[in-house]
Amino acid sequence: MRRKNAAIVGIGLLGASLGMAMKESGYLRSGWTRRPQVTKWALEHDVIDLGYESLEETFASADVLILCVPIPQIIEYIKQYAHRMKPEAILTDIGSVKTVIEEAALSVHARFVGGHPMAGTEKTGPENAFPTLYSNADVFVVPPPGAREEDVREIEHLWQSIGTKTTRLPSKEHDELVAHSSHLAHIIASALTLSILDVEDPEKKRLRFSGCATGFRDTSRIASSSPLMWREIIEHNTPAVVASLETFADSLKALEDLIRRGDFDAFEREFARGKELRDSWMKYKNY
């Protein structure tokens, strides 16, 4: 039987890692990116089997097309090129926010099933890609109202073929979830870094730099993520992110109040609860 053509649009960290991971998936791996030299690199490094010179050709050739580009581009490409796809072809994406992308797909009547792998690093670019980025990751599969069951199963199969675990969620529930589980963490990491290192006095800054060690490194790692990317994510999920910030502010204020009152027995209990929850999460994720 002919292998289905899974076309990756955007060969950056996430797109290139996906292509690497799909080597034994059974799909023909094809791809396009804006810079021809990156497509050439992807072919030379066995990231894809076939490269395209234009978006039009990529959309027209795919059986499954995976948009691995920033949210504004996902929306733009859907509106401009989805009509070029074959009637039986399925369009999907890896965007961190789903409602606005789903609305774009529905507006052009695309055969669409959203996706969001909970995987990544603070780095960018295909040179930082690696084939195990998605190993054992959780992937949210987000079908719009009226999606065909066979289309949803195809997208689930694609992700499961590279060793991920899939969960179906509606778009609104997804966006509320990731605001708390992902978006909030990136905002906090940035705020933490600013509150500790953003001092004007050179000597005080030197001392702060000297005083920060592995604890700061681990808790601030994702503050090194792309500022533009996170601006776009937060901008497209603002109400849910604001709600998550309010929840965090309440938790932080509760700890502050315990410290101000000198109630360190209660403070220790809250720390113990946090430790227990994180240890349970680490066990769940097999970290």
Interval 200-223: pLDDT, tens: 999 999 999 999 999 999 999 999
| Rg of the chain on CA atoms, in Å | 21
Q: What pLDDT band is residue 287 in, cutting at 50, 70 and 90?
A: confident
Query: 88 and 75 in contact (C-beta within 8 Å)?
Result: no
Domain locations in the chain as residue ranges? 5-169, 174-285
pLDDT of residue 131: 96
Residue 60 has pLDDT above 90, yes or no: yes
Residue 1 has pLDDT above 70, yes or no: no
pLDDT of residue 198: 97
128-to-20, 104, 124 alpha-carbon distances in Å? 12, 30, 6
CATH topology of domain 5-169: Rossmann fold (3.40.50)
pLDDT of residue 286: 87
- Pairing of the two strands 114-117 and 64-67: unpaired
Average pLDDT over residues 71-95: 97
| CA dihedral over 30, 36, 39, 44, signed as positive or negative | positive
Residue 196 has pLDDT above 70, yes or no: yes
Average pLDDT over the chain reads 97
Q: What pLDDT band is residue 84 in, cutting at 50, 70 and 90?
A: very high
What letter represents residue 186's amino acid? H
Query: Taking Cα atoms as reference points, which of 100, 103, 238 lies closest to residue 179?
Result: 238
pTM, 2 dp: 0.93
Query: Taking Cα atoms as reference points, which of 149, 152, 126 lies closest to residue 140?
Result: 152
DSSP state of 46: T
Domain 174-285 in the same topology as domain 5-169: no
Residue 95 has pLDDT above 80, yes or no: yes
Reported residue count of the chain is: 287
Average pLDDT over residues 45-66: 97
Of all residues in the chain, what percent carry a pLDDT higher than 70?
Answer: 100
Q: Which residues pair with 226 in a beta bridge?
A: none
Q: What pLDDT band is residue 2 in, cutting at 50, 70 and 90?
A: confident
pLDDT of residue 32: 98
Residue 30 has pLDDT above 90, yes or no: yes
For domain 174-285, give the CATH number: 1.10.3660.10
CA dihedral 240, 97, 170, 110 (to 10 degrees): 140
Q: What pLDDT band is residue 279 in, cutting at 50, 70 and 90?
A: very high
Q: What are the φ and ψ backbone dihedral angles of 71, each rounded to 5 degrees?
A: -55, -50
